[in-house]
Structure 1
Amino acid sequence: MLRTIGLMSGTSLDGVDAAWVETDGEAIGRIGPTVTLPYDPALRRDLRRLLDLAPDLLPDDPFLADCVRRLTDRHADAVARIRELAWESFREGADLIGFHGQTILHRPPPIRPGRNAATAAEALRAPGRTWQVGDATLLARLSNLPVAYDFRSADVAAGGQGAPLVPVVHAALAAALPKPLAVLNLGGVGNVTWIGTGEAGEAPLIAFDTGPANGPLDDWARKSTGSDYDRDGLLALAGEADGAVLGRLMAHPYLEALPPKSLDRLDFSRALQEAGADRLSPQDGAATLATFCALCVAAAARHFPAPPLQWLVCGGGRRNPAIMRALAAALEAPVRPVEVVGWNGDALEAQAFGVLAARVQRGLPITFPGTTGVAAPMTGGRLVGG
């Protein structure tokens, strides 16, 4: 087994999560320490600006280069800290880093009504683009470890959605849990993994983005209160969801499109404006966005082959009582944080990129027809350093 350090910087732009995990890319052995290093306010602001600039940004732009260097330095700090903690815990180091980088643009092949995995070849006529920034070569040099990176590009080039990537790790972690099971990750965007029972004729793994999650709510809290997010859901819990705005938002064609499908963090920005969300009070706007997140998840459940026995929730959204309350009201099965089955909901994605790094090194598939829409399971990612 390899000793890996997985790194994840999500769409919330709040910092880098790092985790130590022992794995061969299929089985998961010891799970070691985890850490989150927040970004300083200037870096967070500049990364947020990159999201706006990305569609027209040139790779040699000086502002981009400066952001990439600072972002990579912070990831190197996280690697150094995890190595210290792993040595304290196990007297062991690490063999490999899984470096996701920071997504600043995600424009996968267009989804179409009725599109499914069997028609993935159709997407080849409409190539997409996904862009994660971060200097893997610099990170390998700073850490003196090989780095697996660029996990999404090959899938998008082959007509896949390029996301989500974590489902194969969800399935490994859930091997002994009752199924069907849904694992819901609520970051800036929501994504879900449906894991089947493995019975003959049943799709074993289906995954896709559900819709906006923390991203719009974080932006709303920042605009309304100056806070980076709706701490403890207090803003949303103080308001009431606006039915008219929700009705307009739920008419968005993305919610009816068949999976596989994925989103950019800003894909619903125009829809939120056109729905009239900007005219709501701070409290009612937050309540509406929290409810919208949950209704998107409920709409996603219509695409499952069978209802899940339970929903396990990871990501920052599970810490927002307003979102969790809305999920409980919108879904028929129990909704619980992943900690009830012994998983770490804050570190799960970082752990997953440690596992995916091992899969890259071993040449194992990282994307699948049921998760991204590629025609067949395919490898991806690149390695640098050694």
Structure 2
Amino acid sequence: MRVAGAMSGTSLDGVDLAVIESDGVAITGFGQTAYRPYSEVERVILRSALGLWPGEAGVAEAAEVIEDAHLDLARDLGPIAAFGFHGQTLAHAPGLRGTHQAGDGERLARELGCPVVWDFRSSDVELGGQGAPLAPFFHWACARWIGAGGAPLAFLNLGGVGNLTWADPLAAAPDAPGALLAFDTGPANAPLDDLMQVRGLGAFDLDGALALAGQVDRGVVAAFLEDRFFVKIPPKSLDRGHFGHLVEKVSTLPDADAMATLVGCILGSVVRGMEHMPAPPAQLLVTGGGRKNPALMTGLQTALDIPVLPVEAVGLDGDFLEAQAFAYLALRVMRGMTTSAPGTTGVAAAVGGGRISQ
């Protein structure tokens, strides 16, 4: 079936949209992709809503921005069996208040005239899971699509927050015991972009140039890695704001040193995450915006003793992998299949999430 998915990530840069062909298990083809950046005004609205819960002032305005941006991209898709709408995560506190992705799938279904699958995370959280990450089932399908053979491999997504997926392509299904282990590693692009904006240096560190010119403050990195999150056994997940203080920790450092130190923190968190792998992966495939940052990629290759490659090296598209993942998950929801499992979110048993609006 031909399905579409979209993702608006924690970096708040814009909306990615992608079409795939699948039966809900195997990937049979990749279709069109598109990107719609948020304007600066829209980013201000979204940033002001971070940390808010349904009904709080500012959430409705943020939801309208999110819905309008998705509709801009999705109106001319042509016939699709379903549209996977993740929405925008504003707050995430599993075990406490739950999880909040702003955006109304019912509005999208009315205006697009096709089934929209949305609210992917709530069911998992209600059943005791972390509600994140949700891309691992798709990572398992990608591992099989690229012909990974019998060796397990790992995917590292460097978006606003970082997350790792360990996948066994020989497992019979993504929800089979031992098929997947997935969890958030720590901050990724979010503090790098925040530092650039706080200091008036632009939207992001182009080509990692600033970080590569600086010196790492090892004391800041060591203190960062003392956070209790890093000793928690996965699966585990983070809210974007969990490490919101990190930019403040480098406030006394010059620009280049501050950026290099933040990169050092990110690298340290990934290295700590790799220690949780069930077996050494044959390679680490990097997706998300962070794969375009030479400071991060060079640092990962230096720190790890396995090949570290952008997902493009195996024929995947790192700009749209998460959007493709929500297309894949949307189809699984439409077919009554599972979307998360104990190894990916810590939920008690494999569960299918998502609401369907038609």
TM-score in terms of structure 2 length: 0.94
Contact kept, 8 Å, 1:232 with 1:320, in 2: the verdict is yes
**Matches of 2:10 and 2:54, distance apart in 1:** 21
TM alignment of 1:183-332, pairs within 5 A: 183-196=155-168, 198=170, 203-270=178-245, 273=248, 276-332=249-305
**Matches of 1:278 and 1:108, distance apart in 2:** 30
Structure 2: tracts of 5 or more residues without a match: none
Q: 2:40 matched to which residue of 1?
A: 41
1:4 and 2:23 matched: no
**Residues 383 and 162 of structure 1: is their aligned pair in 2 closer, same or farther, counting only changes over 3 Å?**
same
Q: Match for 1:8: what amino acid?
A: M
Q: 1:17 matched to which residue of 2?
A: 16
**2:75 aligns to what SS in structure 1?**
helix
TM alignment of 1:68-217, pairs within 5 A: 68-81=63-76, 83=77, 93-109=79-95, 127-175=96-144, 176-178=147-149, 179-196=151-168, 198=170, 203-217=178-192
TM alignment of 1:362-381, pairs within 5 A: 362-381=335-354
Structure 1: tracts of 5 or more residues without a match: 88-92, 110-126
| Deviation of 1:226 (Å) | 3.5
**1:286 aligns to what SS in structure 2?**
helix
Cα deviations by residue, 1:208-246 (Å, 9 ceiling, x for unpaired)? 001110011110111123411111111111111111111
1:338 and 2:337 matched: no
**Residues 140 and 199 of structure 1: is their aligned pair in 2 closer, same or farther, counting only changes over 3 Å?**
closer
**Residues 269 and 67 of structure 1: is their aligned pair in 2 closer, same or farther, counting only changes over 3 Å?**
closer
**Matches of 2:189 and 2:325, distance apart in 1:** 20
Between 170-179 and 160-169, the greater mean CA deviation after superposition: 170-179
Contact kept, 8 Å, 2:140 with 2:167, in 1: the verdict is yes
**2:71 aligns to what SS in structure 1?**
helix
Give the alignment's Cα RMSD to 1 decimal: 1.7
Q: Match for 2:153: what amino acid?
A: L
Q: Match for 1:73: what amino acid?
A: D
Contact kept, 8 Å, 1:221 with 1:230, in 2: the verdict is yes
**Residues 271 and 28 of structure 1: is their aligned pair in 2 closer, same or farther, counting only changes over 3 Å?**
same
Q: Match for 2:356: what amino acid?
A: L
**2:352 aligns to what SS in structure 1?**
coil
| Deviation of 1:202 (Å) | 7.7
**Matches of 2:93 and 2:56, distance apart in 1:** 20
Q: Match for 2:108: what amino acid?
A: L
Contact kept, 8 Å, 1:183 with 1:313, in 2: the verdict is yes
**1:174 aligns to what SS in structure 2?**
helix
Q: 1:117 matched to which residue of 2?
A: none
Contact kept, 8 Å, 2:11 with 2:189, in 1: the verdict is yes
Cα deviations by residue, 1:112-133 (Å, 9 ceiling, x for unpaired)? xxxxxxxxxxxxxxx5410000
Q: 1:65 matched to which residue of 2?
A: 60
**Matches of 1:378 and 1:137, distance apart in 2:** 22
Cα deviations by residue, 1:128-179 (Å, 9 ceiling, x for unpaired)? 4100001111111111111000000000011100001010110011112142
**1:12 aligns to what SS in structure 2?**
coil
| Deviation of 1:317 (Å) | 0.3
**Matches of 2:82 and 2:189, distance apart in 1:** 31
**Matches of 2:171 and 2:101, distance apart in 1:** 37
| Deviation of 1:66 (Å) | 2.3
Contact kept, 8 Å, 1:6 with 1:19, in 2: the verdict is yes
**Residues 58 and 304 of structure 1: is their aligned pair in 2 closer, same or farther, counting only changes over 3 Å?**
closer
Contact kept, 8 Å, 1:146 with 1:384, in 2: the verdict is yes
Structure with greater helix percent: 1
Q: Match for 2:46: what amino acid?
A: L
